[in-house]
Amino acid sequence: MDDVKVQIPVSELRYYMQELKTEILNNLEAEISCTIERTIHKLERHNKPKVDNAHEKCSRLEKDELPEKRFFLRDSVLTDLWKVTHLSSAYNICVAMMLLLYFNTVLLYTVDTQRLEDDMAIINWAAGKRSVVILLWLGMKMSTTCVVYFLFKHWALLRPKKLIFGLLDYIFALTYLVYQIIFFIIPVMILIYYKLPPISSFAILAEQVRLSMKTHAFVRENIPRAVQFKLHQDNDEKDPRPYPCFANYLYFLFAPTLVYRDVYPRTFCIRWNYVAWNFLQFLTCIFTSCIAFHRFVVDIFQHVGHKPFTPVDFVLTLSGAMAVGSLAMFLVFYGFLHCWLNAFAELLCFGDRVFYQDWWNCTSFSKYYRTWNSVVYDWLYSYIYKDFYQVLGRSSAMVIVFLVSAIVHEYILALTFRFLYPVLFILFSSFGVLVVFLTRRRTSSGWNVFLWMSLFMGWGFLIMLYSMEWYARANNCPSYVHPYLDYIVPRSWSCSVFKIHSYQRIIDS
C-alpha cells in the first residue's frame, strides 16, 4: 500500500506553529515569574535586609497589594478526574442511577397518561412566554454590547484632549451609574408587566445580573488604562490606545468568565463531539431536576393551605426536602458549572476552564466559598473584595462580599417567585459568615463532614420553606390588605399550615 501523503501549506503550518510557540512561552513565562516572585518574597521575609525608606515604602505597598487573577491553559477538575479509572466508575454509577430514574418515570407516565399531561402543562407554564424572554434578552444584550463600549470609548478618547477632564470624569461616572440603574429597572418592569412565570423570570434575572457584572468588569479594568493614557508631545499617538478593541470586548461578553482581559489563553480547535456531549449532559440534568421536583416537591407541597402539617409531617417533609435539595445542589453544580461552561469554553476556544475547584474536599467554609463557583468568586474578589480591602481591611471587605452576594441572590429569588422570603439572605449574611470564622484553619476530616451536613440541611430548608410559601400563595391563603405588606410578609405564617391541637388533645386526655 502506498503511503498516504498529507499536504499542508507551509504558510498555514508556520502560522499554527508560531501560535503554539507563543502560547507555550506565555504560559511558561507566567509560571516562572510567579515562582521567582514567591521565592524572592520568602527570602526577603527570612533574611529581613535593611533597606532605605523609599525601598521600605515600596515593599510595604507591594505587600498590601493583593494578587491579580491569572488565566492559564488548563482543564476542569472533573475533566481530569474522569480520566482516572476508579473515579470514572463513580460517574458510571451516577449514570446508571439516572437511567433507572428515567425508566421508572417512563413507566409511571405509561400507566398514568393524565399525570404526564399535568406535568407537561406545569413545565410549559413555568417556562412560558418565550417570545417575550427572547426579545428582552436581545434588548439587554444589544444594550450591553453597544451602549457600554461606545460610551467608554468616547470618554477615553475625549479625556486626554480636554483640559476639563475632571468634569468629564464625573459626567462619565454619572452616566454609567444611570445606565446601570436603568439596566436593572426596565427589564424588571417588563418582567412584571407581562407576568413572566418562574423559569422565564429566573432566566432573565440571571442574565441581567451576569451582563451587569460583565459591564462592571470591563469598565473597572479599563479605567486605569484610560486615565494613564497620554498623547505624545508632538501629538503623535505612539502610546497604545486608551480603550480595547471591540472584538476583545465582544469575545468577553460570551466568554465563560466575569473577569476582563484583552487576551485569554486559547485552544487551537473545537471538539464538536465534546460540545455536543456536554450540552446533552446539561439537558439531562435539567430533565432530572424536573422529575425530582415533580415527584418530591409538587406532590408534597401542593396541599399547603388545604391540609395542615403535623409536627411529624414537618420532620418527614424536611427529610424529603434535604434529599431533593442535595440532588438539586449536585445537578446545579455539574449541569451548569461543569457541562454548560465547558461547552461554551470549547465553542469559544477558551483555555482556562477552572470554573470550580475541589470544593468537595474542603474542611472550612471560607475555602468552600472560594472553590464552589470560581467564576463568581473571581469577580467578587477582583472588583469587590480588593477595592474594599484597601480601604476597610480584610474582615470588613469579606463581610461586604457576603452582603453583596446575599442581596443579589435574594433579588433574583424575590422577583422570580414574586414574594420576599429572605431565607437565603439570612443564611448567607448570618450563618454563612459565622461558619467562616468557626471553620477557619480547620483541617480534620470531621469538619468536612460538618460542611456536608450544613450543605444538605441548608439546601433542604431552602427547598421546604420556599415551596411552602409558594403553595400557600397559590392556594389563596389569607393575604394582607396592603400590597407591599403582602409582598414582604410570608402568607405561610398566617395560614393554618401546622396542626398541633391534635397533640394537645392527647396530652389533655
Q: Which residue has the cell 499554527?
A: 16
CA 370 to each of CA 92, 359, 398: distance values in angstroms, whole numbers, following the listed order: 28, 8, 12
The domain segmentation of the chain, as residue ranges, is 10-64, 296-509
pLDDT beyond 60 at 287: yes
Question: Which pLDDT band, with edges at 50, 70 and 90, does 6 fall under?
Answer: very low
Q: Which residues pair with 350 in a beta bridge?
A: 266
What type of residue sits at position 428? F
Q: Which residues pair with 498 in a beta bridge?
A: 309
Give 137-174 pLDDT, tens digit per residue.
999 999 999 899 999 988 888 877 665 657 788 888 89
419 is written with which cell numbers? 414574594
pLDDT beyond 70 at 303: yes
Closest listed residue to residue 317, CA positions, set 497, 450, 491 = 497
Please pick, among 46, 55, 409, 482, the residue that the annotation labels catalytic.
409
Q: Output the pTM of the full model.
A: 0.79
pLDDT beyond 60 at 39: yes
b/e per residue, 69-83, with b = 16+ CB within 10 A?
A: bebebeebbbeeeee
Whether 409 is a known active-site residue: answer yes
CA 100 to each of CA 87, 280, 287: distance values in angstroms, whole numbers, following the listed order: 21, 18, 13
Phi-psi region of 230 (alpha: psi -120 to 50; beta: other; left: phi over 0): beta
* Distance between start and end Cα atoms, the chain: 97
Give 190-219 pLDDT, tens digit per residue.
999 999 999 999 999 999 999 999 999 999
- Better-predicted residue by pLDDT, 165 or 236: 165
Chain-centroid distance, C-alpha 37: 31
